[in-house]
Amino acid sequence: MQAVIQAVRGLLKDTLRLYWSLLKIMIPVMLAVKVAVELGVIPWLGAIFAPVMMLVGLPPEMGVVWATTCLVNLYGGAAALLGVLPETPLTVAQMTVLSVMMLAGHGLPLEQRICQKAGASLIVTAALRLGFALGYGAILSAIYNGFNLLQQPLDITFLPHHSRQEGWGDWLLGSAESLLSMLGILLVLLLVLRLMDASGLTRLLTRLLSPVLRLMGIGPQTTPLTMIGVLLGLSYGGGLIIRDSQAGRLPPRDTFLAIAFLCLCHSLIEDTLFMMALGGHWSGVLLGRGLAAILLMAVLAPLVRALPPETFRRWLFSGGNAPLSAQTPPQPAS
């Protein structure tokens, strides 16, 4: 019984610590969006993003949400979404497309710095993430619309909806209610993660996905570190890759491919569950995103392996101390 009480206390403590960190991000973003609404800036910003959003079948205003996500993180993007959602309704299909774009492109300033520290080109990996977000988003939108899937209106029942034209008093009350709802989401997410660890499900997923990484050309030395990033986040897996890459323990091409895959598909548990809680459908944010990332890597890996060493060093990779000759040769599929 004492162990259960300690576990509950630890869960609540970790939830509140994370919640406080997110409040420091979300409140300024929500305030900035409200000010932008009052000044009539949102339609102007929407017009800037309209061509990009048209490509993926989203309203122009969602460009503000995606841009915020790219510059801040998923929670900053969620705060921006709360500001523009009431009068810019979405279908479940559109929310799923927006979700996959947010998952692929969030937190670029921080996470691309991690990629760079690991040795991978900042520009190439950033272009890979943004290109994947737009390309996969466009394909997913075409599939959903072409087959008339998930066209019902988005209804996030646990988040209070308020008109954009409401006064500051009502807005403050609505925002407080929304942020309180987010606390419940975080508590559930952390509880699920703890249960997955305790039940051994996280370790099982690691074993099941490891062969997939090897088929993509990621060698055995890099596979465990990559799996940490895939399941828990680029900051975790990328940090470990930085350590071993700079120590010369990882083959450079394996390192680049691992970072490239993490750019496309990381924090598969927490971030995916969060976007599903906001209305994204599992078919796009989990199954489709994973398959699309694997297919892209299956094309990218042979191209990276075929590059001459000088070209690889010049355009794709500049870090680590291991010589290019130390790279793991590609293994034939069995």
163, with CB counted inside 10 A (0-12, 13-18, 19+), is exposed
Q: Which token pair is 314?
A: 């010049």
Cα–Cα distance, 82 to 160 (Å, whole number)? 9
pLDDT in tens, 64-89: 899 888 888 888 888 888 878 877 88
Of the candidate ranges 46-50, 125-129, 224-228, 329-333, the one whose mean pLDDT is the lowest: 329-333
- pLDDT grade, residue 101 (50/70/90)? very high
Q: Which token pair is 233?
A: 């986040």
Q: What is the pTM of this model?
A: 0.78
Residue 312: what pLDDT? 95
pLDDT in tens, 246-272: 777 888 999 999 999 999 998 888 889
Q: What Å distances lie between residue 239 and 133, 136, 290, CA to CA?
A: 23, 27, 22
Inform me whether the pLDDT recorded for 220 exceeds 70.
yes
pLDDT in tens, 308-329: 999 999 999 986 554 554 444 3
Inform me whether the pLDDT recorded for 161 exceeds 60.
no
